[in-house]
Homo-oligomer: A and B are copies of this chain.
């Protein structure tokens, strides 16, 4: 018979929690493949490599910046605005040299959320933003803009009563608003709008890649939402072990699933009403909007509420997309605002009406304030960066380069050298 030590139980609890957090972190990382495919599919073939490169560099540059700077900024902003104790040097040292190396698992878990917010923006400014402008903005976002939002909220700042379970507003809403702002300042692709404000549609080059990206994102989203129930087990001070965040993990799994399905149905229904046909891209983006809508509240809504939030998040997509396009004349290439921005806002604001704890005015106020602060900060900071870039002529490529495509001008490559033009390869002639 064994004499059980406290340390045995602690080790088990820690191992189980680490297994889970690592697994979901990998799933969330894989969302970069989803974003890359979703965005690549929605741009023209002459700009595909540019979009892919931006996605690769978002992660590569952003994650290093978030390690060196961003994560610590979150802690500091949380301390400053939340009134908690903090130390500037300590905040950095906790990331760079934590007492236990397992702390780096927690850092990586935070990093994959940060990089999700970052990569959303690339879809809005596709086809004309300079690579160096985009990378510059990514550095600022990963180092400051997103960490400040986290500081306000999850890191204990003054919005800590804002209910956003997995980042429907903090990550997706923030990313969608940043994208819209950037697309507005940088201006539309050439010929996108006529002088009278009427619209020319520029279709993406591959619905197949776009839908592939959608399904990869949905897969990763299970990591994103269900994974935010990050500690399967909890150990109390007296050493007793209970289900930690897994006590509500079933609700997260269910409401995420129902809202995803309802989002696709809502967008399909709107598309059917408008045109009599079921637009494939609306269905795909509606599925994602349903996911965005539920993300902030997935742990704490009743499941009929998940169906309603999903349906509305999907149904608003075609409406908001057309509003941005036709009224605002903003060229949000990959529809990142209707998918991530307005759907994220919607979910956060609807929360009190479907909360498992019932409606309270206080909860609604918290949600409104939280959404407003995050939106304003994101808008202001993003506008500042792109205004500076624009003022020094670094925001977008030249018209010649835009016409030729960014693949050639920024990267010197041709994404599909054998399709749509004479075959130039030399290994035995034209097939």
Interface residues of A (CB under 8 A from B): 1-9, 11-16, 18-20, 22-23, 25-27, 29-30, 32-33, 36-37, 40, 44-46, 48-50, 52-53, 55-57, 59-64, 67, 96, 100-105, 107-108, 111, 127, 131, 189-192, 200-209, 211-212, 214-216, 218-219, 222-223, 226, 232-233, 239-244, 246-251, 253-254, 257-258, 260-265, 268, 275, 277-281, 283-284, 287, 303, 307, 399, 402-405, 407, 409-421, 423-429, 431
Contact = CB atoms under 8 A, between A and B. Distances in A.
Contacts of A23: 19, 23
Each complex incorporates copies of this chain amounting to 3
B5 A3 contact: no
B61 A283 contact: no
Nearest to A13: B12
Given A27-B26, A104-B251, A223-B26, A428 B278 contact: no
A127 to B, nearest CB: 7
Given A8-B241, A27-B26, A102-B246, A413 B207 contact: yes
B281 A413 contact: yes
Contacts of A101: 247-251, 254
B280 A53 contact: yes
Contacts of A102: 243, 246-247, 249-250
5 nearest A-B pairs in the assembled complex, by CB-CB distance: A403-B428, A104-B250, A33-B215, A60-B264, A101-B250
Contacts of A7: 240-242
Contacts of A307: 64
A270 to B, nearest CB: 14
A277 B411 contact: yes
A240 B9 CA distance: 10
A332 B218 CA distance: 29
A33 B419 contact: no
Contacts of A426: 191-192, 200-202
Contacts of A211: 36, 40, 52, 55-56
Given A33-B212, A57-B268, A427-B192, A277 B207 contact: no
29 contacts: A1-B3, A2-B4, A3-B239, A11-B233, A11-B241, A18-B232, A29-B218, A29-B222, A30-B219, A36-B215, A45-B419, A52-B207, A60-B263, A60-B268, A61-B265, A64-B307, A67-B258, A96-B303, A107-B254, A191-B428, A202-B426, A204-B417, A206-B208, A207-B416, A208-B209, A278-B410, A279-B413, A404-B431, A420-B431
A253 B105 contact: yes
A211 B57 CA distance: 12
A15 B418 contact: no
A146 B32 CA distance: 32
A12 B233 contact: yes
A180 to B, nearest CB: 20
Given A16-B16, A262-B64, A280-B49, A403 B429 contact: yes
